Every structure is written in C-alpha cells, then in structure tokens.
Amino acid sequence: MFNFMANMLPHLRYSVNRYSPIQRFYFLHFAPLSSSSKAVKSNPENAKNGDSFTVSYLINKCRFTPEKALSASNYMKIEEAGRPDAVLLFLKNQGFTKSQISNIVKRYPPVLLCDPQKTLLPKIEFLKSFGFTLEQLTAILNASPSAFGRSLENQLVPTFNFLNNFIGSTEKIVCVARRCTRIFGVDVEASMGPNIQLLKDVGVPESKIIQLLIDQPRAFVIDKKKFRDIVEEVQGMGFNPLRYNFLLAVNAFRAMSKETWEKKMEAYKKCGFSEAEIFKAFKENPRCLVVSAEKIVAIMDFLFNKMGFERSVFRNRPVIITHSLEKRVIPRCLVYQDLLAKGLINDGLSLARVVEAPEKKFLEKYIACHEKEAPHLLKLYTEKLALLH
C-alpha cells in the first residue's frame, strides 16, 4: 500500500511549467500601446547594444540597473522623454507611491509607452467603479502591472466579474491578484471554471474551494485534464473531499514535478523516516511535502541532532516542518528546552504546540507568565530572533 514510490502517481509527470528565459520578457506578448511609441526593429546590432536613449532614460529616471535597462531596450524603444514622463506623473497623481511606480515600471517597462488618458485611466476608473479603494487598486496594479497592457473589455472586465461572482469580496480579489500576478493574462472562466466545477462535483464544499482560490490561485490555472488527473489521484489516495487537506494535496501535486517529489522523499528517508511514515504525514498535512528538500533536512537536523528531540515530534505533528527554521523553530525550541530544564513545564507538553502558537499567545503563555522564575527568557528569545534574522 505504501510502496507508492515504485508506482509513482501518474499525475506527477505533469510538472509545473517553468518560465523559459524568453518568457521573462513577457511584455513582448502585448501589441504596441501607442502609434507614437515604436518598438525596436529587429536589428542584430540594435539587439546587441540596445537603444542608448532608452537605456539612459531607464537608468536615470527609473533607477534600472544598466543590465536591466539594456535588456529592456532590446525589446522597447523610448524615442523621447515626453510620453514616459507623462506616465510617471500620471501614476503619481493617481496615488501610487514612489516605490510602487518603480516596481511597476521595472516589472512592466512598456507601461512607459502607454497613453495615460486613453490606456491607463480607463483601467483605473474601472477598478474604482468596481468598488476598490485607492489602496486596493494600487495594490492590485502594483502586484500585477501587466494588467496595464491587457484589454479592458476582453480581459480585465471578464476576469474581475468572474472572481467577484465567485469570491464576492474586493479585498479577497486583491489577495488573488497579489498571489497570482498572471491572473489577468488568462481566460479565467475557461481555465478556472471547469476546475472549480470538478471540485464541486467530487464533493468539495464551495467555501473550501474559495479558501484555496484565495490562498493558492495558481492551483486552478492549469489544464483541466491535468487537473482532473490530479483530483482523481488524490481521491484514490483516500483523502476526504470534505476536508481542506484534500485541496492541499491537489495543490501539492500541482506544484511538484516527479523529480522534486522524489528529492523530498529521499530527504525524509535520509532523516530516518520510512515511506509509510512519510505517506502518513502527507495525509495528515500535505504541506509537509511542499517545503523544499533543503528545508526538510535543515529542520530535521536541528530538531534531532542538535536539540535531541525524538522523531515522534514530527510523526505526531508534521505541520512543524512548515514553519520557518530561523523565525520560529530555533528560537522557540530554545525557550521550550529552557522551560523544560527548569521544571516550568512538563515533558508532556507538545513541542509542536509551542512552535505553532500565535506570537502573542506564545509570549504570554511561555515567557511572560514565567517572568519571575526565568526573567532571562524574553532576552534569550528576542536576541536569538535578531541574530537569526
């Protein structure tokens, strides 16, 4: 039953698509935005050396590095400063901060070639009419600057309508935009719609689907056949569609290639766990196989070799592997060990409970309440945090 590595899940052959080097220049997929703003002609010498005025403008006005300015100049051309200056001023007047403007331009240089009134303003006005506050709309466009280059009628309106009808919250749409910046570059109804319907058909509650869409929108933007294969495999592994772990498992397999899965399995095995134990941990908390192999080894080494904890710490609560080693596991383990040594807590207290506690609760329950007996704990904790950060 547990020898599933020998019969690797079929869907793992569907690895996550990685961007090729040319896809880094994603703005090439957009048509010129203004007849007065010309793209660089296909000229070998031009492609090698870039356009000097464009390079100079991007470095001096937009704080590009010389390398990034040269790279951008091979695919776009600024003939004079009038248009890009107007774009920068427009964004400032619309309420974008200096850092947001810098981020937008660096991630989507062709925005400098847009007509502020004809191309940019209608999209901002649409977002305002949709009910987004200034803070929300600047956050969306800062997270997904390529939206400036998308068609308002054919892309932005349908995308926002689809998300709003399903999620029903502008604040949550902002979260989706931040976590999946390419959301405005896909036909969400065609790509997300069938995948959402499939989850409903297999019994996943809509509230949990919405939760995953907000937390991991990328999970839905894949080919529907691949998505169906993954869902069927997760069903076959015995995950309950009524529980959120079902969706976490779907997302975990969506995000991993076969090679990555095998690498993480090997990492756990090197730490002394059997396939049966790994499989059991995965069923309890699929996130334990989403973290990197390097993190798996680092946390296990700290817990078992440096701190001397038993492997049951992970077996009982595999979620412990998902926390930050530097920000959570190390400083809190030191506090836990100190409390245990002084007899302020008993060894029946789960280490996972200490690690997983919200920061405020942790400080109150494990440090503040022992201030008289162990006044050094707060200093130990804060100094270790500062050192590791």
The tens place of each residue's pLDDT in the chain, 389 residues long, gives 333 333 434 333 333 333 333 333 333 333 333 333 333 333 334 334 457 999 999 999 999 999 999 999 998 999 999 999 999 999 999 999 999 999 999 999 999 999 999 999 999 999 888 888 888 889 889 888 989 989 999 999 999 899 999 998 888 888 898 888 788 878 888 889 999 999 999 999 999 999 999 999 999 999 999 999 999 999 999 999 999 999 999 999 999 988 999 999 999 999 999 999 999 999 999 999 999 999 999 999 999 999 998 899 899 899 999 999 999 999 999 999 999 999 998 877 888 889 999 999 999 999 999 999 999 999 989 988 888 76
Q: How is residue 284 written in tokens? A: 């309890």
Token match 């689809």: residue?
A: 162
Q: Let me know if residue 305 belongs to a domain.
A: yes
Domain assignment of residue 71, yes or no: no
Angle at 107 between CA 215 and CA 73, to 5 degrees: 160
Number of domains the chain contains = 1
For residue 74, being part of any structural domain is answered with no
Nearest to 167 by CA among 135, 209, 205, 216: 209
Position 370 in a domain: yes
Domain containing 292 — which CATH number?
Answer: 1.25.70.10
In a domain, 350, yes or no: yes
Locate tokens 């009038």: which residue?
82
Q: Which of 133, 127, 134, 61 is nearest to 94 (CA)?
A: 134
Torsion of CA 328, 333, 338, 340, to 10 degrees: 130
Question: What's the sign of the alpha-carbon dihedral 110, 89, 123, 106?
Answer: positive
Query: Which residue bears the tokens 């090997």?
Result: 266
Lookup: tokens for 363: 């400080």
Q: Is residue 194, in this structure, part of any structural domain at all?
A: no
301 found inside a domain: yes
Say how far apart CA 353 and CA 256 lie, in whole Å.
29
Whether residue 89 contacts residue 81, with contact meaning beta carbons closer than 8 Å, is answered with no
**Domain assignment present for 268:** yes
What distances in angstroms separate CA 148 from CA 54, 141, 159, one per listed residue?
Answer: 20, 8, 14
Look up the domain containing 368 and give its range: 260-388
